[in-house]
Structure 1
Amino acid sequence: MSLLQSKIAVVTGASSGLGRAIAIRYAAEGACVVLADIRDAPVEGGATTLELIEATGATALQVATDIADWNSVDAMVSATVERFGRLDIIVNNAAIYTSTNLLQTSIEQWDRVIAVNLTGFFYCSKRAVMQMVGQEPVNEVRGRIINISSQHGMVASPGDFPYGVSKGGIVQMTRQIAVDHAEDGIVCNAIAPGKIITGKPGVANDPKALDYSRSRTPWPRLGTPDDVAGAALYLASDMASFVTGVNLMVDGGWMAG
């Protein structure tokens, strides 16, 4: 049997990058996947995540969602439950960055990054738990929250002050939810990717930045979205029921060096 057979999963930021890979992996493992994003066209180009999943015969639902807007998040979870009857898994993945240090960061940039990367995760987690606590548990678990943090929630994010601060907040948010809602049957973990090669434009794929990342990563290659999707599959499955409150590093050994 597939690891997520008949599970209902929401993935935010599912149109591109890590969210896209996670949604596709979940669908391949039997989940019905809700693609929550403000856009549907992938930054990598090509077919949409919805098209790729439906082409395999799996089930997906695209719901336009701005995670920085409570009403949008509320409507997305309501649409999920109306269509599928429950919510088993939510992956909080959608995030933005500015590539600015403290002095370079405008108030507007700070507010926007925190609104998406931290408040958005709060909104999605809160609305998910509101649904999950009223559900019947399956193998002791009523629901699972998986937060995509970053190695830059553990160490500084050079030259990107609001991003690093927001990711550090996500790590603590994960611990809080895991402890506060364990008795409710809610499992909450985070995944902290290291350097993952995606189609994301900008400084992330600058050749000098890539060379630096290669020099810091003990494993002889940089990461791919599928590496993160594998970790997200594990944490979403029944294999990880006694694993809660952790920030799982998926970084090729960067943080161990």
Structure 2
Amino acid sequence: MAGRLAGKVALVTGGASGIGRAIALRFAREGAVVLIADVTTDVLEGGVPTQDLLTAEGLRGEALHCDVSREEDCEAAVAHAVAAHGRLDVLVNNAAVRLGKPLLDCTREEWDRLMAVNLTGVFLMARAAVRAMRAQPPQGEVRGRIVNISSQHGMVASPEDIAYGTSKAGVVYMTRQIAVDYARDGIVCNAVAPGKILTGKGGRAVEPRWLDYSHARTPWPRLGRPEDVAGAALFLASEDASYVTGHNLLVDGGWMAF
């Protein structure tokens, strides 16, 4: 299949819904074999499972049950990619949860659970992926690529959401550290930092006060769509980004420029 990721094997965590779903679909349409790693196949916004969409389009994809907070699940997901397809070319660390509580309302248990998914999950998946990528022959200059999904709230305060913002700041740092430590091994590691993205799910994210806040912070006349993030992730996963590593690419409609 022709495309910017033709013949590549990509693993996308949190690929059942939202941004992860858009990335999985875009990668598959660009020729990749996509492993959709998530704790469920249910789509939070509604609709048919991501794997079923890929199948209906004649694309190659597979759903894997994976809780990124569990070391054994992360190791198994990467091992499956290598055993089933011979290598792992791209890891997208997208899986994340939100809490929406300020410091004084956030319990230790809530903090630990969010960090286990949003930060430790990135660490566990990246560690398993880098081990596998270092053991495989390079294609051109690159043995493998990691694309982490961070956030503009990893660089500025996330109002009334201390755990989420802290976790995303950690993802930004981890991206740079992995890029520096493993560049000589042919590992490319970057992040995409979305601004306000409307995925179609409800809850706190679409309460009027937060939508008003996001519109006020975003110079572009609309808020983001999952496809906006998927396009940036595709660039970083492709050969077009071979000399780009350790970068945190803002996809925020100008939020951080304002």
Under a length normalisation based on structure 1, what TM-score does the superposition of the two structures give? 0.99
Instruction: Name the structure 1 match of 2:234.
Output: 233
Instruction: Name the structure 2 match of 1:139.
Output: 140
Shift of 1:40: 0.3
Q: CA offsets, 1:29-88, max 9 Å, x none? A: 000000000000101111100000111111111110000000011111111111111000
Instruction: Name the structure 2 match of 1:222.
Output: 223
Instruction: Name the structure 1 match of 2:116.
Output: 115
Q: Distance in 2 between matches of 1:166 and 1:86?
A: 29
Shift of 1:144: 0.2
Q: CA offsets, 1:80-118, max 9 Å, x none? A: 111111000000000011111111110000100110100
Q: Does 1:19 align with 2:26?
A: no
Shift of 1:200: 2.7
Q: Which runs of 4+ in 1 moved over 6 A?
A: none
Q: Distance in 2 between matches of 1:139 and 1:206?
A: 47
Q: Distance in 1 between matches of 2:140 and 2:97?
A: 35
Instruction: Name the structure 1 match of 2:85.
Output: 84
Amino acid at match of 1:9: A
Shift of 1:167: 0.3
Instruction: Name the structure 1 match of 2:255.
Output: 254
Give the total of aligned pairs: 257
Q: Distance in 2 between matches of 1:213 and 1:201?
A: 15
Instruction: Name the structure 2 match of 1:46.
Output: 47
Q: Distance in 1 between matches of 2:128 and 2:214?
A: 36
Amino acid at match of 1:91: V
* Aligned Cα root-mean-square deviation (Å): 0.7
Q: Does 1:156 align with 2:157?
A: yes
Amino acid at match of 1:121: V
Shift of 1:133: 0.1
Q: Distance in 2 between matches of 1:200 and 1:176?
A: 33
Shift of 1:199: 2.2
Instruction: Name the structure 2 match of 1:190.
Output: 191
Gap regions ≥5 residues in structure 2 = none
Instruction: Name the structure 1 match of 2:211.
Output: 210
Gap regions ≥5 residues in structure 1 = none
Instruction: Name the structure 2 match of 1:99.
Output: 100
Please state whether the residue corresponding to 2:98 is helix, strand or coil. coil
Q: Distance in 2 between matches of 1:104 and 1:147?
A: 28
Shift of 1:216: 1.3
